[in-house]
Structure 1
Amino acid sequence: MKAATAAEMREIDRIAISDYGIPGAVLMENAGVAVVRHLESIMEVLSERKFCIFAGKGNNGGDGYVIARHLVNQGAKVKVFLLGEKASVSGDARINLDIIEKMNIDIIEIASERDWDKVRVAATFADCLVDALVGTGFRGEVGGDMSRVIDSINAAGKLVVAVDIPSGVEADTGRICGKAVRAAHTVTFCLPKPGLFLYPGAEFAGELMVADIGIPTAIVTQQQIKQNILMAGAVRTILPQRSPDTHKGLNGRLAVVAGSRGLSGAAAMTAEAALRAGAGLITLATPASIQNVVAVKLTEVMTTALSETATGGMSQDAVAEIAALAAKNDVVAIGPGIGRHEATVAAVRAAITTVECPLVIDADALYALIGYTDLLTECTALPVLTPHPGEMGLLTGLSAQAVNSDRVTIARQAAREWGSIVVLKGAHTIVAFPDGEVYINTTGNVGMATGGTGDALTGIIAAMIAQGMSSHDAAVAGVYVHGLAGDIAAQAGMVGMAATDLIKAVPAALYGIKNC
């Protein structure tokens, strides 16, 4: 499913109105009707129900006026609270405001303290509050009367339905500066917006419904929108299919370069996740002093020793060993638990430009690239990087907070500049490609906020590449499967969930996707 930015949605609307001759009032009518239908689906009966519609001066408010008309026609009791003056409403919104005024629907301009008392009383006795204050064009910080209205909506404790996007949420980023309407449901139009899936906006959107308002499909497809919402159906089509007579040699060979003294767990979890994701043969390469440790942890994974430093990390001599190992495998995953010793990070930089098969780069291997991201353009195959926001911040010179404030843009820019696939982990994980294509994941939960889940993702993506998937498809599918496995594991409880619980659930996630 595509997701449109605010600018893309404005262009789609413009083409529909200007080039196809669809009146804006028709689109507004269809939008309002779609919201009323959704209200009916969740409330069952609209007659005699009490609604407060909070409307702004623009087209989002116009949708609210349409909603008011159709609710009254179905026997509902409606009050419309207008943030602003009637005289300031124009265009298609004005047409619909005039109609409901002629219908004698109660319209209150919020201008005095007495009006605010009416807001409070009406919200207290309402069955549902409809947020039609501002739409996808909103940017910046909520203040003044808008802030006060949002506080009133959120404090009422009633069912809240947002029109297109909750007021205060930025459509492109999900960013909230100050406050936003916390909706139980959001009815968005034509296409979803990225901010409905990106936190914190996703938390305020509630249950999402995408409504068709009559915009021709051709307009949407011609826009070449590059934001995608990652769903099970898309993943199902790209997962590898196994022949009944397959064997381990046909299911991919994977080398995991990971671990150091005291950090054997990360190495073991990466290899175990790759195994659970279907890789046929896995070799875990670790510094010699911990080879026996990981061999005990893993039954079905082969191990091999790498030259090491005095402190138990990978040494410069390991570069040639990694290159030899890579020559025997389809993909190399590197980084989990390798440590940050000077010799180790130097070895990582050398290995990245030496290895000829696809690379999945994570954790301490990302640390080795701080100030050296230009090395990524020397990779023989398109590498996959899996940073969390802190690591992404170190690589880009930003804070983790800055990274999270505009996850799509930052991941997209990094992918383009580094000539790499960037998997920016978090809620929700972003997969970005050098051509600007971006996927926003929809699986995963807070139980995954624990050590080792990132190592598991590295193993899953690498295993999918080993099985013959392109790095592009493996990154997309791996992220979805990883989150779904987390969702399956979370059924036993999110608090206290461990990365190993997620890893054990990977086969069930794969089965579910293929057979749902």
Structure 2
Amino acid sequence: MRVATSDEMRAIDREAIERVGVPSLCLMENAGRAVAEQAVRLLGGSVKGRRIAVVCGRGNNGGDGMVAARFLHNWGAEVLVFLAGREGDLREEPATHWRALKGMGVATREVSEEGETSEVEAALRACDLAIDALLGTGATGEIKGLYAKLVGAINLSPKVVAVDLPTGVHADTGGLMGPCVKADVTVTFGLPKVGHLVFPGAGMCGKVVVADISLPTRMLTDEGRLPLFFLTPREARKLLPERKPDAHKGDAGRVLVVAGSVGLTGAAAMSAESAYRVGAGLVTLALPESLNDPMEAKLTEVMTLPLPERGRAISPEAVDKVLKFAEGVDVVALGPGLSRMEGAAEAARELVARLERALVLDADGINALEGRAELLDRRRAPTVVTPHPGEMSRLTGASIEEIQRDRVGFARRFAKGHGCVVVLKGARTVVASPDGRTAINLTGDEGMASGGTGDVLTGAIAGLLAQGLPPFEASVLGVYLHGLAGELASKELTIYGALATDVLRLLPEALRWVEEERTPPRWPIEVGHPLL
């Protein structure tokens, strides 16, 4: 499903109004009714006699709230509407709906000074539900003054529905712009925005409901104008590699995993096994020769390639042996547990520069390029880099705070600048392609915050690449499956007890869920449009 930035959504709204001829009042009416319906749902199916406070800004977001208030009043709720400002400050469409509210006898109050918020706070404490209709996706500045006070008042309510986006969440980054409304449900219109999906903003939205307000479907599904998306269960099913009835192991792809060092053998083992668990036909683990015997005992299906070593990590002398073996494989995964010893780092840099096979670069393979990201620019074969924010910081010199402030933008810029697919790991992993296509992954949970889960992901992406998926698609599906396996592990073992090996074990079950187009257990979004 496509995801919009605030500018992209405004352009769609404007085209629908000016070129297609959908009246703006019609869009606002549909939006407000969708908000009202979610309020009813949150209150158990009826609002008769329930107290609802609606806090409106002066723009279109406020207008949506006014429409919702009118419907809720009509359905029997005791509604009180607060306007942040004076009636004379309203834009044309919200002013129309404000007059309608008053005409229907809905209780309204104007609040224009910070000192006038005591009644608002009292009403929000006493109500059954509040609707946040203060600011929408166009807000970019710090929340302060009157609006900060009103945000605090809204958060006093026992239940909150946010209109389009909780006030205080940046629509394009998911960052917080100061005090922020904490919603139970956020009703957005047409398409989800980045701020609904990326943390910390995603954590303020509650359940996200994407309402159909009659924007033309062709505009909402145009991949050319909307390069950002998230993978749905239906779309994930379409990405699964095909396998012919007469396929043999060579047809399912060959993976070479270059990984492991003393104390870090688990990373190597999990990466190699993960490639098998997503369907790769043949997997070989290249590792320091002194670790070969114990790994042969540990791994049954995975073949091994002992390499020259220094300090029980691979040495530069291993490079030629790896390059020769790699001539017979489809994909090389490089980095899990490789160590940060200089010999291993030197070997990793030389392999990045000389390998002529598709490469998935992770962990210490990325760390080896600290300050030398230009080595990626010289690669001719497809490359996928899978850093967490700390590794991305070392790779680029940017601070973790800078990376996390705009995860989507940072991943996109790096992918375009270095000609590789970027998998920026973390809650809501971002996958960016050099051509601008970008996916925000919605699977996974906090139970995956344990050592080794990233190694499982590396192998999964490599295994899908080996089966013929293009690098971007292999990365998007790999991240989706990995997160889904994590959710299944948490469901079975709790978020406290699930380990990386459980994620690895449940990859086949995640594949089954994808084959059956089942919705992941903790899917955070609900879409009202049947064709999106």
Taking structure 1 as the reference length, the TM-score comes to: 0.97
Instruction: Identify the residue that residue 348 of structure 1 maps to in structure 2.
Output: 348
Pairwise CA RMSD of aligned residues?
Answer: 1.5
Q: Which residue of 1 aligns with 2:272?
A: 271
Name 1:40's counterpart in structure 2: 40
Q: May I ask how many residue pairs the two structures share in their alignment? A: 514
Provide the residue aligned with 2:249 in structure 1: 248
Distance 2:23 2:200 in 1: 34
Question: What is the CA-CA distance between 1:63 and the residue it aligns to?
Answer: 0.6
2:56 is matched with which residue? 55
Question: How far apart in 1 are the matches of 2:499 and 2:371?
Answer: 33
2:204 matched residue in structure 1: 204
Task: Read off the aligned partner of 2:358 and give its amino acid letter.
Answer: P
Deviation at 1:111, TM superposition (A): 4.2
**Structure 2 counterpart of 1:142, one-letter code:** I
Whether 2:202 is the aligned partner of 1:189: answer no
Which residue pairs with 2:433 in the alignment? 433
Separation of aligned partners in 2, 1:467 and 1:382? 14
Match of 2:262 in 1: 261
Separation in structure 2 between the aligned mates of residue 189 and residue 66 of structure 1, nearest angstrom: 14
Q: Distance in 2 between matches of 1:445 and 1:112?
A: 42
Q: Which runs of structure 1 show a deviation greater than 6 angstroms over 4 or more consecutive aligned residues?
A: none
Corresponding position of 1:75: 76
User: Sequence identity, in percent?
Assistant: 46
Structure 1 position 296 matched with structure 2 position 316: no
Aligned counterparts, 1:141-152, within 5 A: 141-152=142-153
3-state SS in 2 of match to 1:481? helix
Task: Output the CA distance in 2 between the equivalents of 1:227 and 1:462.
Answer: 23
- Quickly say closer, same or farther: Cα 1:113–1:332, change in 2 above 3 A: closer
Q: In structure 1, what is the equivalent of residue 87 of structure 2?
A: 86
1:357-394 deviations in whole A, cap 9, x for unaligned? 10000001101112222221222322000000111112
* SS at 1:19 equivalent: helix
Deviation at 1:34, TM superposition (A): 1.4
Q: Secondary structure at the match of 2:495?
A: coil
Q: What is the correspondence of 1:219-368 to structure 2 with a 5 Å cutoff?
A: 219-222=219-222, 224-309=225-310, 311-368=311-368
Q: For structure 1, which runs of at least 5 residues remain unmatched after alignment?
A: none
Letter matched to residue 201 of structure 2: G
Q: Which residue of 2 is the match for residue 467 of structure 1?
A: 467
- Distance (Å, rounded) in 2 between the aligned partners of 1:74 and 1:248: 63
What secondary structure, in the 3-state scheme, does the structure 1 residue paired with 2:496 have?
A: coil
Aligned to 2:126: 125
Is residue 357–residue 382 contact of structure 2 (8 Å, CA) maintained in 1? Answer: no
Partners of 2:65 and 2:321 in 1: CA distance: 66
* 1:493 partnered with 2:494: yes
Partner of residue 512, structure 1:
513
The amino acid that maps onto 1:445 is D
1:126-160 C-alpha deviation (Å, 9 max, x unpaired): 1210000000011132111211111122133x111
Deviation digits for residues 93-133 of structure 1 (CA, Å, limit 9, x no counterpart)? 11111111222211112246784332222222212100000
What residue in structure 2 maps to residue 402 of structure 1?
Answer: 402
CA distance in 1, matches of 2:320, 2:141: 52
Are 1:51 and 1:130, in contact at CA under 8 Å, matched by a contact in 2? yes
Change (3 A) 1:112 1:262: closer
1:465 to partner: Cα distance? 0.9
* Alpha-carbon separation, structure 1, partners of 2:485 and 2:367: 27
Q: What is the one-letter code of the residue matched to 2:57?
A: G
Q: Which residue of 1 aligns with 2:520?
A: none
Question: How big is each residue's C-alpha offset from its partner over 1:57-105, in whole Å with a ceiling of 9 and x where there is no partner?
Answer: 1110011111111111112110001112222112211111111122221
Distance in 2 between residues matched to 1:112 and 1:446, nearest whole Å = 41
Q: Hey, what's the Cα distance between the residues in 1 that align with 2:418 and 2:330? A: 22
CA contact (8 A) 1:231 1:441 kept: no
Cα pair 2:114 2:145 within 8 Å, conserved: no
Kept in 1: contact 2:112–2:146 (CA 8 A): no
- Counterpart Cα distance in 2 of 1:314 and 1:221: 48
> Aligned partner of 2:275: which letter?
A
Q: Is the 8 A contact 1:358 1:380 kept in 2?
A: no
Unaligned runs of 5+ in 2: 518-532
3-state SS in 2 of match to 1:393: helix
